[in-house]
Structure 1
Amino acid sequence: MRLIIAEKPSVAQAIAGVIGGARRNDGYIECPQAKTRVTWCFGHLLEQARPEDYVAGGKVLASHLPVVPIAWKLSPRDGGAGKQVKVIRDLLKDTSEVVNAGDADREGQLLVDEVLLFLNWKGKTSRLWLSSLDDESVRRALVSLKNNDAMRPLYESALARQRADWLMGMNASIALSRNLQACGVQGAWSVGRVQTPTLALLVDRQRDIQNFKPRDHYQVQAALDGDIRALWQIPEDLQTEDGLLLDKSAAEACAQAVQGRRATVSAFTRKAGERQAPMPYALSTLQKTASSRLGLSAKDTLAAAQNLYEAKLASYPRSDCPWLPAEMHVAAAQIIRALGAADIAGIDPERRHPAWNTAKVEAHHGIIPTGRSLAEASGLSGNAKAVYGLLRESYLRLFMPPETFETREALFTFPGGERFKASARIVQEPGWTQLGQGDSSAEDGEPEQPARLPILTEGQQLTCESAQVQAKRTSPPKPYTDGTLIAAMTGVHKLVTDSKLKARLKETSGLGTEATRASMIEVLIAREYAERKKKEIHPTEHGVQLIDMLRKVAPDLADPGTTALQEDALAAIASARSTFDEFMTAQIDAVRESTQKLLGGQLGATPAILHACPACGGGRCAQRTSKAGATYHRCLDCDAAFGDDGGKPGKRFEDKHQSEGAAAKAPASGPKCLSCKKPTFKNETKTGKPYYRCGGCKGAWWPDRKDEGKLGTKWEERAGARA
């Protein structure tokens, strides 16, 4: 019996449909003729344990940080994950071969492999690698299964990402929150390995806009015989560092000097050129285009592309590669017919665009239509149909001729030495541009060249009919949109000032991955560090405060370059150029350093007055106000709470479950805590059952069944509150 485990039910259904004879059961599909069962995950069925699950007492104190698990723990997520894990466990009992059919990326590799490891599967395991869900692609993948062991580096890359995110996110968030709590700043703060540098991009852009000071600058345009428009080549000694002329009088003097004078053509060049159709989409370029042309967020674009993938209309959406395998070219004619474009002038199914290059395709290829007709699909969202239009246009352009053009440039010299230049781009054959000029948007700010400049000869003289001074003003940077933020995350090297780091990042990774960038934007918005204003994304005051605090004590956490290098290192693990252990050692060292900086650093908040703790003897007992408005004190190290006695800690509260502000009814007199050896309090549950709780470490135990004066089983599920 063979068991195929897909990443989600829709993929499992597509696979089972190709295998044939499918019968749906509870949690899996039976294909008896092929002796195959197909089951599924719902994304990650398992989640990492919380930091408090790794420390004694169930409460993460400052002294515990950083929490670095020796043995990492996983457990089923809330909801139906536990039930599905049991389904897979039962199916494994009479299985001879498992096929990992997770999505064709590192996360898809991890989410199936981790379930198999969790269930202690040690049998034969193969890998099904799907780039699209149309029947022919599934058939080809089923007859070319790989050994899952060969995908070990990909699994380790995903595992390293998962653990690095946990280590940095959990420890840094708790450390920052503890430090701020000591300063009297309530609430939890969130730091993330990719999330926080992305927020830093937003904060820096807002600062650039706020600090921008517009400057007036000037240019001179001369109108010459033949309706030629030429611009003054401003002498270097009159320019600023960024090439601007700020002196209006100099521009006016130039205009007056050339008005009505004859200019000589000192140089004239013509150059033929051609422009191939744009490459197929990777996810980031699709998100940028959908943002500018359709007004879609990065999240909505990914959801639309996923909808198309599951409807078998498009290939795998989370691709970071625009290239296409040459062997897929044979399907071009059929796909073009399915797209209803066989009669469009200029389309030739035999044409080979440079995008067809198998050597440059890695895990995935560009996002393209599969050849299934749009009419065959049902249940598509409006966004999915709009994104399908972009994919259709992109694919068809690959089979159209290149745009051909001629660029012309003329230099003119006036008697007084003033030099002017005119240039033009004359389209000769529109080629693929009949289906659109491409995917650069107005956000790119690229000026269009004039389409007219007659053929001239050197030495020819033309009269300047008029010369006008053009007054201009510099513009501030534009706020990020989903599309431009995704582009900034992808090309983060452009924002790095260190020349060596810039050169390295240009050739390697960006900030985050194709699959995670959209979710990072949504996380920032959900946690109120960023907000959308129409199409624009802005940091909130809360987000600006977070970045400012981090840059005071642990600037690497907000540095996009640092995180981009981590993505580079994860890619090196996936390609077996580096090891999991090397990466994790570096991450743990970095977490230890960052955590200590966050715990002890001056974050800029006004510190609260701290007193000695009567319970543990530490010096970090801070004043608090209960929900009812009563003043009390809590130790930031041992978490013990005390009533207020003239602004200092007074009587200790008996237990966390009592109302904060109430004095203890009786001193701790129960059996000693098994964790910290302090006496425990005897309490009762809401149903009247007795139990013991330690006021120091907050551990809780049921009484021993034979002797209620002793501690019995530890009350794990109520051991403490989450940090």
Structure 2
Amino acid sequence: MTNTTYETLYLCEKPSQARALARQLGASNNEDGVFTGGGAVVLNAYGHLLNLAMPDEYSDHDRGPWSLSNLPIVPRKWEWKVKAEHIEHYNKIAAWLDRVKTVVIATDPDEEGEVIGRQILYELGFKGDIRRLWVSALDPNSLKQALNNLFPLSDTDTAYRAGCVRRQLDWLYGINLSRAFSVSSGQRTSIGRVKTRLLTELVRRECEIKCFTPVNYYTATAKFEDVVLEWQPATGCVDIPQLPLDGEVTGICITASEYQETLEPSLPLTLSALLADAADIGIDVTSGYAAVQKLYEAGAISYPRTGSTVMPGHGKHGFAVHHAIVNMRDACPDWLPDTCQIIFNMVHHNCVLQHIGAATVHVRKLVFDMGGEIFTAADRWVDPLKPREAGWLLCDPGKHSALENNVKTAAFKPGDQVHATLKVERNLTVPPERYTEASLLRHMAKAEIGTEATRVDAINNLVINQVAERKQAKPGSSQQLSPTEKGMSLIERLPPSVTGNTMENQLRNALIYVRSGQADFTGHLRNASKWLATTISRMKQNSTYDLIRS
């Protein structure tokens, strides 16, 4: 390290971020992974350089065998520890901080990135000026704009507190419940807010499949000329229609209505939606996630770990509100692998659909009374004389052609009588399908289980911990996920308060509280600790094991 004095240090989260930012700043000297030049220093933190200390790392903790009697464990003061493999790098950051007056936190633009950046500076006791770089993409234009609009640290206080309360609550849940159920069962058990709820969903689906009993239901169609009418039962398709099972039937047109529908394109992409779409065509979520990260680091797409479905420039954006994933260039860099090319094209195609906009579809609907039963048919078409009305459908030739010249009902009006050929079919209900990576991701997003940044890891950890397994149903499709016997047994032993959404609701309430501007979230930690104490107390009454060796 030279003795040159520098004005500003930019603290990134990953090496790829540091390289991109260094190029933008003209910091071209690379000194063992630290970029310098133009009065700036750019280095990275290797992600989670610091983590909340484990119980045995606290000086006042009983390091003896695990026991229900010393649970729940609630730190009086939260401590952070450096990963052993990163101590040398941590000390390098400390040495560089002594040589600058200002630090710009340039970690990922999210709550977790805020904690990563701030906690390093707080633990090392940096006393200089701290500002925040909040950038939505790593392309030169986005970096230039963000560098010209640095935020004071106070603007990201709520993001920091939200990240901290999430980490601390998850620590309380994971440490205490894992130890408690390990003791009560006599075998090592891993419990967590996201993974346990996720495994519960897989077990619930497996039980639905195994316990499924088929039920008869009926469908019926009536055909005349080129029009096919479908039966609209009033009783959920379980009763036989009051019509002959086959043959001729006479009906009368009750209504013939015409109107227009606005058909929107698929929503702008969140990370979960993008990975689910990729999984549908055979790209597993782990490979998809890695490809998305490579595209972001190459400046080809915007920040990916977003749950927003708002396009840039639309709606009200605060500094910490991300837009949906968009492409930052017209073509994917050709040096990136095929998986990246496929996913980039998916992002680019979605953006094209958003810019073209909605389609206007004309609808004509017929309603017939067939012997006391209601049958309907509807035509949908785009006006060939008004091509702009086709909107995004122009980018989907299959759907667009299906809506061209598709008018078969125009000749009918109320009061018209027809003679139709009736066909009634008896069917059996089928069990629900096992979750796939794609459908599970969509379920997690809809149920707000986990975050965009953690869902893939949550799925992978179930497989790593051997409580779930993957199976390839067929080539080019999403892999199925099902619980193992170990996973089924674990969920059967857990009380509903742990397998349900209690932990998720506690975290959600805490996040709403801190994101509203409240600084002190200790009340939410106390509430979680009380719930843990109650849960563990009930376990003590049923536990057959008093302690387990750590």
Determine if the TM-score, normalized by the shorter chain, exceeds 0.5.
yes
Alignment of 1:369 onto 2:327: yes
Count of residues in Structure 1 that have an aligned counterpart in Structure 2: 526
Q: 1:221 — aligned with what?
A: 221
Q: Using a 3 Å threshold, how does the CA distance of structure 1 residues 25 and 254 change in structure 2: closer, same or farther?
A: same
8 Å contact kept, 1:10–1:310: yes
Q: 1:531 — aligned with what?
A: 469
Whole-angstrom CA distance in 1 between matches of 2:339 and 2:513? 35
Alignment of 1:100 onto 2:58: no
8 Å contact kept, 1:154–1:575: no
Alignment-mate amino acid for residue 47 of structure 2:
G
After superposing the two structures, state which structure 1 stretch, 213-222 or 398-407, moved more: 398-407
Whole-angstrom CA distance in 2 between matches of 1:600 and 1:166? 25
Whole-angstrom CA distance in 1 between matches of 2:318 and 2:428? 44
Q: 1:489 — aligned with what?
A: 444
Please point out which of 279, 284, 298 is paired with 2:267. Answer: 279
- C-alpha deviation, 1:233, in angstroms: 3.4
8 Å contact kept, 1:104–1:363: no
Alignment-mate amino acid for residue 141 of structure 1:
A
- C-alpha deviation, 1:374, in angstroms: 2.3
Q: Secondary structure at the match of 2:179?
A: helix
Please point out which of 126, 133, 138 is paired with 2:131. Answer: 126
Alignment-mate amino acid for residue 16 of structure 1:
A
Whole-angstrom CA distance in 2 between matches of 1:547 and 1:21? 53
8 Å contact kept, 1:321–1:362: no
- C-alpha deviation, 1:361, in angstroms: 8.7
8 Å contact kept, 2:161–2:519: no
Q: 1:208 — aligned with what?
A: 208
8 Å contact kept, 1:52–1:60: no
Alignment-mate amino acid for residue 493 of structure 2:
M
Q: 1:193 — aligned with what?
A: 193
Whole-angstrom CA distance in 1 between matches of 2:366 and 2:542? 61
- C-alpha deviation, 1:562, in angstroms: 4.4
Q: 1:232 — aligned with what?
A: 231
Alignment-mate amino acid for residue 255 of structure 2:
A
8 Å contact kept, 2:137–2:302: yes
Q: 1:289 — aligned with what?
A: 277
Whole-angstrom CA distance in 2 between matches of 1:94 and 1:52? 35
- C-alpha deviation, 1:452, in angstroms: 5.0
Alignment of 1:310 onto 2:297: yes
Q: Deviations over 1:49-72 (max 9, x none)?
A: 222233234544332211111122
Cα RMSD of the aligned pairs, angstroms, is 2.4
- C-alpha deviation, 1:277, in angstroms: 2.4
Alignment of 1:115 onto 2:120: yes
Please point out which of 542, 545, 549 is paired with 1:601. Answer: 542
Whole-angstrom CA distance in 2 between matches of 1:527 and 1:73? 27
8 Å contact kept, 1:275–1:403: yes
Whole-angstrom CA distance in 2 between matches of 1:565 and 1:321? 23
8 Å contact kept, 2:366–2:409: no
Alignment-mate amino acid for residue 53 of structure 1:
E
Alignment-mate amino acid for residue 365 of structure 1:
H
Whole-angstrom CA distance in 1 between matches of 2:471 and 2:168? 34
Q: Secondary structure at the match of 1:126?
A: strand
Q: 2:153 — aligned with what?
A: 148
- C-alpha deviation, 1:451, in angstroms: 5.2
Q: Using a 3 Å threshold, how does the CA distance of structure 1 residues 569 and 541 change in structure 2: closer, same or farther?
A: same
Q: Secondary structure at the match of 1:274?
A: strand
Q: Using a 3 Å threshold, how does the CA distance of structure 1 residues 65 and 233 change in structure 2: closer, same or farther?
A: closer
- C-alpha deviation, 1:109, in angstroms: 0.3
Q: Secondary structure at the match of 2:494?
A: helix
Whole-angstrom CA distance in 2 between matches of 1:324 and 1:288? 19
Whole-angstrom CA distance in 2 between matches of 1:305 and 1:160? 28
Whole-angstrom CA distance in 2 between matches of 1:361 and 1:322? 16
Whole-angstrom CA distance in 1 between matches of 2:93 and 2:116? 13
- C-alpha deviation, 1:8, in angstroms: 0.6
Q: 1:433 — aligned with what?
A: 393
Whole-angstrom CA distance in 2 between matches of 1:57 and 1:222? 76
Whole-angstrom CA distance in 1 between matches of 2:238 and 2:16? 61
Q: Using a 3 Å threshold, how does the CA distance of structure 1 residues 529 and 513 change in structure 2: closer, same or farther?
A: same
Alignment of 1:176 onto 2:181: yes
8 Å contact kept, 2:109–2:320: no
Q: Deviations over 1:595-640 (max 9, x none)?
A: 32334336xxxx58xxxxxxxxxxx5xxxxxxxxxxxxxxx38x6x
8 Å contact kept, 1:266–1:412: yes
Alignment-mate amino acid for residue 62 of structure 1:
L
Alignment-mate amino acid for residue 393 of structure 1:
H
The one of the two structures with greater contact order (alpha-carbon pairs below 8 A, sep at least 6) is 2
Q: Using a 3 Å threshold, how does the CA distance of structure 1 residues 571 and 78 change in structure 2: closer, same or farther?
A: farther
Alignment of 1:580 onto 2:525: no
Please point out which of 342, 345, 351 is paired with 1:395. Answer: 351
Whole-angstrom CA distance in 2 between matches of 1:71 and 1:60? 21
Whole-angstrom CA distance in 2 between matches of 1:57 and 1:323? 50
1:226-375 to structure 2, matched below 5 A, reads 226-234=225-233, 236=234, 239=235, 243-247=236-240, 250=241, 253-255=243-245, 259-292=247-280, 294-326=281-313, 356-359=314-317, 363-371=321-329, 373-375=331-333
- Structure whose alpha-carbon radius of gyration is higher: 1
Q: Secondary structure at the match of 2:134?
A: coil
Q: Deviations over 1:448-468 (max 9, x none)?
A: 9x955321211112221x211
8 Å contact kept, 1:52–1:59: no
Q: Secondary structure at the match of 2:189?
A: coil
8 Å contact kept, 1:425–1:451: yes
Q: Deviations over 1:188-214 (max 9, x none)?
A: 100001110111111111111111111
8 Å contact kept, 2:197–2:500: yes
TM-score, normalised to structure 2, is 0.90
Please point out which of 521, 524, 548 is paired with 2:492. Answer: 548
Whole-angstrom CA distance in 1 between matches of 2:109 and 2:397? 32
8 Å contact kept, 1:52–1:58: no
Whole-angstrom CA distance in 2 between matches of 1:143 and 1:477? 53
Alignment-mate amino acid for residue 458 of structure 1:
P
Q: Using a 3 Å threshold, how does the CA distance of structure 1 residues 177 and 152 change in structure 2: closer, same or farther?
A: same
Q: Secondary structure at the match of 2:81?
A: strand
Whole-angstrom CA distance in 2 between matches of 1:484 and 1:438? 24
Q: Secondary structure at the match of 1:399?
A: helix
Q: Using a 3 Å threshold, how does the CA distance of structure 1 residues 438 and 490 change in structure 2: closer, same or farther?
A: farther
Whole-angstrom CA distance in 2 between matches of 1:286 and 1:599? 45
Unaligned runs of 5+ in 1: 182-186, 327-355, 440-447, 493-509, 609-619, 621-635, 640-722
Alignment of 1:518 onto 2:474: no
Q: Secondary structure at the match of 1:260?
A: strand
Q: Using a 3 Å threshold, how does the CA distance of structure 1 residues 100 and 106 change in structure 2: closer, same or farther?
A: same
Q: 1:46 — aligned with what?
A: 50
Q: Secondary structure at the match of 1:394?
A: helix
8 Å contact kept, 1:105–1:363: no
8 Å contact kept, 1:267–1:410: yes
Alignment-mate amino acid for residue 3 of structure 1:
L
